[in-house]
Amino acid sequence: MQDKMCIEGYFSTIIYRNNNYTVAKFKTDEKAEKYLTVTGYIGEVYEDFPYRLYGDYTEHARYGMQFSVESYEQVMPNDDSSLIRYFSSAFFDGIGKKAASKIVAQLGKDAISILKEDPEIVYQLVGLSEKQKESLKSGIDNDIEDSVVFLTQHGISTKNILKIEATYEDEAVSVIKENPYQLVIDIDGIGFKTADKLAMSLGFDEMNPNRIKAAIVSVVLNVSMQTGNTFTSKEEVFRHLVKEFSFYDEELYETYLSQLEMERLVYLDGDALYHITQYDAEKGIADFLYGFPYIDVNTNELGDLDRIIDEVASEFNIEYDKKQVEAMKTFFDQPFSILTGGPGTGKTTIVRAIIQLYKELYPYSTIALCAPTGRAAKRLGELGGISATTIHSLLKWDLETNTFAVDENTPIEANLIIIDEFSMVDSWLFYNLLKAAHNVSRILIIGDENQLPSVGPGFVLKDLIESEQYALTRLEKIYRQSEGSDVISLAHAMKEGRLDGLHQGNDVKMFPCQNFQVKDQILKIVSNAFEKGYSDLDVQVLAPMYNGVAGIDALNKAMQELCNPPSNEKNELKLGYRLFREQDKILQLKNQPDDGVYNGDIGKIVEIVDAKNDFNNMARVVVDYDGVFVEYTGDLLQNITHAYCISIHKSQGSEYPIVVMPILKDYIYMLQRRLIYTGITRAKKSLVLLGSEEMLEKGIQRTEYHERKTGLLKRIKEYSEGIPF
Ligand SMILES: Nc1ncnc2c1ncn2[C@@H]1O[C@H](COP(=O)(O)OP(=O)(O)OP(=O)(O)O)[C@@H](O)[C@H]1O
């Protein structure tokens, strides 16, 4: 901070504000009315309080000299005029310029610190009404501004300061001084590292119990997030403590674990160690489903179901087979049911029928259709004549705090919830959905049980099915006969560990090639597809890893050259090792619900504005996601990457006309049946596999590899066996 420029003055006008990114007029000289435009992440500021801003002057091509703020702090007013301005500000209700002058005249230039130290002094002031004295006392008591100064001094970013203030209000400084690691627990977005930095600068000891306990909680959560397992083991966490924190005391470790368990930060189940959020999620799911539904469901009208199914069949001009009819009846018979099946087995067909039947049977009821990704939600919405949303937007997720506005107190206002692509739903998200579903009378989940599990911890679909406690319809007959049906046959064979039809079909091709040849082969295939009229959005290359000659990064670079070469007409932006260009195919990496764009969505860059041409002095990228335009600046730019080649995990929930998938020896540690199956079932029309058939064969034989450790099945069983816990 020391080597940064520093200016002092008052904020006068906020010109622009978006997620705390602020452009403001800042008065640097009150008498001369001198203003400067300042930009940066700035929280709530007060007009009548002087501020000290740290940062740099920047010359803006269009708007001239500006000051880019890196951090800021309030300055205690200490001359007559700024003190009078302060005491007559909105902080002190009922105190005007006259009364403020009296305060300053009696207490002098240290008025603020005198009042802070001894607020009772207000009663000794003369010339103020009782009301004014009370107002002075309560206004001065406001500690928030001290916390800004304190946190700034300890290197906490402005963004995090805003979150800390919102959570602790007046208590911020005292909470942090006592235990900075409390931030990890209370503030989403502040991790162990940030809190640790603060603690170290406050002089905390490396072996401070709060530090080691916070480290344990953070390791437990990180291991879960990295592995997808909902729990880890006591031993594994201890190994991390030894390696990363030089903590060797096993006895003390046990003590800390018991304390953390009592504080409800972790949960121990034998040797299995859960982060409390993961335990609560699994227990909460089992608990909710055990008692579901929580309201009376009237099933009297169902006498007519057979007739109405016939009506719907003729309306849609289809003859449902026995299993499909059974699926519909099960849905109406059971409040919670699961529909599973591979591609082309009629899942969509059944959902469409169920929606129609439900509307006829319960014309005044409402249906919430949702899916974990934006793309899947869009597809789902197209079939039922009802709009579908992502689960996150159904629950009104708040990105900043990672909380849901729709919850047990503000529940989902629908009678039926249908969730598609359920294999992608993790345990924590499902729990949050169920918590808000007490007024719902029916839930239907649909998913392909052979696909990869969710990115987040848990394997909910698998556990629910394996528990055998819930109504399940497994669709097996393949109906799709048209384009892409060879892909579907191959997928179904793969489920049994076979590769039927790999060389016979028209829609599936396998070309042998070595890893160093993959790039050229892909470029050839993509060029051929372009010649046939396909666009780069139609062809999706999928790979399981990022590094190496045939990794995602290298393939993206090569494909960018082919699909979107440099041109004078296209603006570019370099971000780290990536070079974005207008017209690039882009992948969204995170959920951004406010912008209507979600993890896994694919779009095209329509505009890149260089920082020097931007009003806010920030580089800007605008991406078009099929009509939804999203603007990225600052940190948000981390949320996009190139999408010519993406990971199989990221492709979950999406489908593409042509999928090209290298299967190479390089990927040996990644290849397993669920991964390959998920990748190939993304192909709607054709699938091109490149590489080694031997690796493909090996991969699909690997079924237990990387299987997740979860506790949901056990929790469900405990409930069904009536074991209280
Ligand atoms: N009983 C049936 N009679 C005739 N065609 C059917 C029947 N059931 C489904 N189909 C047809 O089979 C095709 C695949 O069905 P559907 O799209 O519902 O399957 P899906 O399981 O949702 O597949 P995917 O997961 O690939 O989207 C569709 O064209 C559908 O019209």
Query: What gap in Å lies between CA 101 and CA 99, rounded to an integer?
Result: 5
214 confidence band (pLDDT: 50, 70, 90): very high
342 Cβ below 6 A of ligand 1: no
380 Cβ below 6 A of ligand 1: no
**Ligand 1 center to residue 500 CA distance, Å?**
21
324 Cβ below 6 A of ligand 1: yes
- In ligand 1, the atom with minimum distance to the C-alpha of 488 is 26
101 Cβ below 6 A of ligand 1: no
Looking at the predicted structure, is the pLDDT value of residue 1 above 60? no
Q: Is-contact 195 181, C-beta < 8 A?
A: yes
Looking at the predicted structure, is the pLDDT value of residue 141 above 70? no
- In ligand 1, the atom with minimum distance to the C-alpha of 352 is 18
Residue 510 pairs in a beta bridge with 689
Name, in order, each residue with C-beta under 8 angstroms of 531's C-beta and a sequence gap of 6 or more.
Answer: none
650 confidence band (pLDDT: 50, 70, 90): very high
Looking at the predicted structure, is the pLDDT value of residue 151 above 70? yes
484 Cβ below 6 A of ligand 1: no
Looking at the predicted structure, is the pLDDT value of residue 78 above 60? yes
Residue identified by tokens 């099933």 is: 299
Identity of the amino acid at 247: F
Looking at the predicted structure, is the pLDDT value of residue 636 above 50? yes
Query: What gap in Å lies between CA 68 and CA 17, rounded to an integer?
Result: 15
- In ligand 1, the atom with minimum distance to the C-alpha of 349 is 18
654 Cβ below 6 A of ligand 1: no
List, for residues 156-183, the tens digit of each pLDDT value: 766 677 788 788 887 888 888 899 999 9
**Ligand 1 center to residue 704 CA distance, Å?**
30
- Per-residue buried b or exposed e for 525-561, using 16+ beta carbons within 10 Å of the residue's own CB: bbeebeeeebebebbbbbbbbeebebbbbbbbbbbbe
Is 714 annotated in some ligand binding site? Answer: no
Secondary structure element (H or E) that encloses residue 74, with its range: strand 64-74
List, for residues 223-238, the tens digit of each pLDDT value: 999 999 999 999 999 9
Is 641 annotated in some ligand binding site? Answer: no
**Ligand 1 center to residue 395 CA distance, Å?**
30
How distant is the alpha carbon of residue 721 from its chain centre?
36
Phi, psi of 209 (to 5 degrees): -55, -40
List, for residues 245-304, the tens digit of each pLDDT value: 999 999 999 999 999 999 999 999 999 999 999 999 999 999 999 999 887 766 555 668
345 Cβ below 6 A of ligand 1: yes
Query: Closest Cα to atom 5, ligand 1: which residue?
Result: 479
Question: What are the Cα distances from residue 685, in Å, to 534, 649, 650?
Answer: 12, 20, 20
Question: Which has more pLDDT, 141 or 277?
Answer: 277
Residue identified by tokens 């009772």 is: 120
Q: What is the DSSP letter of 319?
A: -
SS3 390: strand
Query: What gap in Å lies between CA 567 and CA 438, rounded to an integer?
Result: 56
CB atoms within 10 A of CB 305: 17
Q: Is-contact 507 685, C-beta < 8 A?
A: yes
Identify the weakest region by mean pLDDT among 164-168, 486-490, 553-557, 675-679: 164-168
323 Cβ below 6 A of ligand 1: no
SS3 313: helix
Q: Could you tell me what percent of the chain has a pLDDT over 90? A: 58
Q: Of 194-198, 419-423, 619-623, give the range with the top mean pLDDT.
A: 419-423
Secondary structure element (H or E) that encloses residue 161, with its range: helix 158-168
pLDDT at 451: 95
Question: What are the Cα distances from residue 655, in Å, to 173, 271, 421, 484, 682?
Answer: 51, 41, 12, 12, 4
301 Cβ below 6 A of ligand 1: no
pTM of the model: 0.80
Residue 364 exposed, middle or buried by CB count within 10 Å (0-12, 13-18, 19+): exposed
pLDDT at 183: 92
Query: Closest Cα to atom 18, ligand 1: which residue?
Result: 346
pLDDT at 149: 63
Closest CA to 563 of 645, 659, 675, 658: 645
319 Cβ below 6 A of ligand 1: yes
- In ligand 1, the atom with minimum distance to the C-alpha of 684 is 26
Q: Of 479, 492, 681, 687, which is best to mutate to test ligand 1, by the most ligand atoms within 8 angstroms of its C-beta? A: 479
Q: Give the β-pairing of 5-18 and 51-60.
A: antiparallel
**Ligand 1 center to residue 676 CA distance, Å?**
22
Is 37 annotated in some ligand binding site? Answer: no
pLDDT at 302: 63
Mean pLDDT of the chain: 89
**Ligand 1 center to residue 449 CA distance, Å?**
17
691 Cβ below 6 A of ligand 1: no
Query: What gap in Å lies between CA 489 and CA 683, rounded to an integer?
Result: 12
pLDDT at 2: 45
346 Cβ below 6 A of ligand 1: yes
Identify the weakest region by mean pLDDT among 298-302, 336-340, 392-396: 298-302
**Ligand 1 center to residue 341 CA distance, Å?**
11
Query: Closest Cα to atom 25, ligand 1: which residue?
Result: 343
pLDDT at 371: 94
pLDDT at 104: 93
Is 344 annotated in some ligand binding site? Answer: yes
Q: Of 323, 422, 480, 659, which is best to mutate to test ligand 1, by the most ligand atoms within 8 angstroms of its C-beta? A: 480
Query: What gap in Å lies between CA 699 and CA 677, rounded to an integer?
Result: 10
Query: Closest Cα to atom 9, ligand 1: which residue?
Result: 346
pLDDT at 32: 62
- In ligand 1, the atom with minimum distance to the C-alpha of 448 is 25
Give the CA count within 13 Å in the CB-facing half-sphere of 455: 14
Identify the weakest region by mean pLDDT among 66-70, 101-105, 449-453, 526-530: 66-70
Query: Closest Cα to atom 26, ligand 1: which residue?
Result: 343
Beta strands in 280-374 (DSSP E): 336-341, 367-371
**Ligand 1 center to residue 492 CA distance, Å?**
14
Q: Could you tell me what percent of the chain has a pLDDT over 70? A: 94
Q: Of 314, 338, 340, 348, which is best to mutate to test ligand 1, by the most ligand atoms within 8 angstroms of its C-beta? A: 348
What number is the average pLDDT over the span 713-720? 92
List, for residues 110-123, the tens digit of each pLDDT value: 898 888 888 899 99
347 Cβ below 6 A of ligand 1: yes
Question: Which has more pLDDT, 483 or 671?
Answer: 671
Question: Which has more pLDDT, 29 or 721?
Answer: 721
List, for residues 441-495, the tens digit of each pLDDT value: 999 999 999 999 999 999 999 999 999 999 999 999 888 767 767 999 999 999 9
203 confidence band (pLDDT: 50, 70, 90): confident
Is 348 annotated in some ligand binding site? Answer: yes
What number is the average pLDDT over the span 383-409? 88
Q: What is the DSSP string of 236-288?
A: HHHHHHHHHH----HHHHHHHHHHHHHTTSEEEETTEEEEHHHHHHHHHHHHH
What number is the average pLDDT over the span 584-597? 89
348 Cβ below 6 A of ligand 1: yes
| Cis check: omega of the bond before 363, within 30 degrees of 0 | no
616 confidence band (pLDDT: 50, 70, 90): low
Looking at the predicted structure, is the pLDDT value of residue 507 above 80? yes
**Ligand 1 center to residue 612 CA distance, Å?**
53
Secondary structure element (H or E) that encloses residue 693, with its range: helix 693-701
Looking at the predicted structure, is the pLDDT value of residue 143 above 60? no
